[in-house]
A and B are shown apart, each in its own frame.
Chain A
């Protein structure tokens, strides 16, 4: 086989591998959700974050608007501090917006849900969300349910 033919085949092979990588990166992995665009950071304090993880979704009205960037525990206030990066195009959340930790489906992943408020002023970079609701811990709910049942009898 001539060396030209070999070189063409090797070139095709490398090109196919690069194409395969881009196919995997774009349509299978979450690369498309690594927003290269602008974002701003908000924080919120929760009593209990449940199974929330870094890179969990932040959603408003079911639409993903950002990602959790950091979760820390404050041992002075005994609260978890969740930092979130919100895409800059979603910059019109009133300052009395409520953040709650929700679960997608019965056993699905947990995410932060935003419930917009009614104030005229908007949240901006570095602001903290005051109205928060912690994750529902299934074991606690079952426990409470059993206790209340026992009280009735």
Chain B
């Protein structure tokens, strides 16, 4: 009886120590990656290649998602606002929610699913097939050669993707609100111009997406680098990437919103 209880407590303790160990490893890993990023200055070609696979290949899903999110937002806010005769505010409502919240958050979630999981799987497979050790044998630093360009590319690509998402979303909202529902195009564009602030809304949205890009890519490359080098471990690592980065994004979004917009 007491032994069984002790076993449970031991498991709990082991799990806690294990997760703190991982956190510590992840932090040391982050420091190493950031130091290795300096070497990217001399090898920009590696970065461009990763920007292609992390950024350009994610672009399609971002554009399509942005278009439909904007369209749905316009439709829903129209139905809610038309009862108050305030349907002219659809533009400002869609613009504010896209720039402040949906743009950075939805982009980051899609980014974690599309690019983050691919990064984990790629690095994890390199580890499982001992390509990383092979590089070390050839005196090539895998941090500089493999991890740093991917990390930097994710960090750069996220704000670009989020900006495109918001812009496309507003175009989608314009299509629905003005072309389909027949709202006045003048007030659709002029109301946001009065209400949306360049610094408070646009820049803060970009700061958010930078933070999300940093965290999502960090989790993705760390999970890949730290995975158990078996097919099962690789699968678990990929799943963890998506789950952990999604949770981290949503949690950080709350913190950032509270810091930025609370008055």
Contact = CB atoms under 8 A, between A and B. Distances in A.
Interface of A: 3, 6-7, 9-10, 12-14, 16-17, 19-21, 23-25, 27-34, 55, 57
Contact of A30 (B56, B168, B170, B193): B193
Given A25-B202, A30-B196, A33-B193, A6 B164 contact: no
Interface in B151-193: 157, 159-161, 163-164, 166-168, 170, 189, 192-193
Contact of A20 (B49, B168, B192, B201): B168
B219 interface: no
B51 A24 contact: no
Contact of B163 (A7, A9, A21): A21
Interface residues of B, number: 30
A3 B49 contact: yes
Contacts of B116: none
B221 interface: no
Given A16-B164, A24-B202, A10 B193 contact: no
B196 A10 contact: no
B59 interface: yes
16 contacts: A9-B56, A10-B48, A10-B51, A10-B55, A13-B56, A13-B160, A16-B160, A17-B160, A23-B167, A24-B163, A24-B167, A27-B193, A28-B99, A28-B189, A29-B99, A30-B193
B198 A29 contact: yes
B11 to A, nearest CB: 47
A3 B197 CA distance: 40
Contacts of B61: none
A64 to B, nearest CB: 9
Contacts, number: 79
Interface in B51-92: 51-52, 55-56, 59
B45 interface: yes
Mostly, the A contact residues are: helix
Interface string B15-55: 00000000000000000000000000000010011011001
Given A3-B48, A28-B196, A30-B198, 15 more contacts: A10-B48, A13-B51, A13-B55, A17-B159, A17-B160, A17-B164, A19-B167, A21-B167, A24-B170, A27-B189, A29-B193, A29-B198, A30-B195, A32-B193, A33-B194
Nearest to A33: B193
B95 interface: yes
Contact of A29 (B49, B163, B202): B202
A17 B245 CA distance: 23
B95 A10 contact: no
Contact of A6 (B49, B160, B198): B49
A124 to B, nearest CB: 28
Contacts of A33: 193-194
A16 B194 CA distance: 25
A31 B52 CA distance: 31
B160 A14 contact: yes
A29 B191 CA distance: 9
Given A17-B160, A21-B163, A24-B167, A29 B52 contact: no
Nearest to B201: A29
Contacts of B189: 27-28
Contacts of A6: 48-49, 52
B192 A28 contact: yes
Nearest to B51: A10
A88 to B, nearest CB: 22
A20 B163 contact: yes
Contacts of B194: 30, 33, 57
Contacts of B59: 13, 16
B53 to A, nearest CB: 9
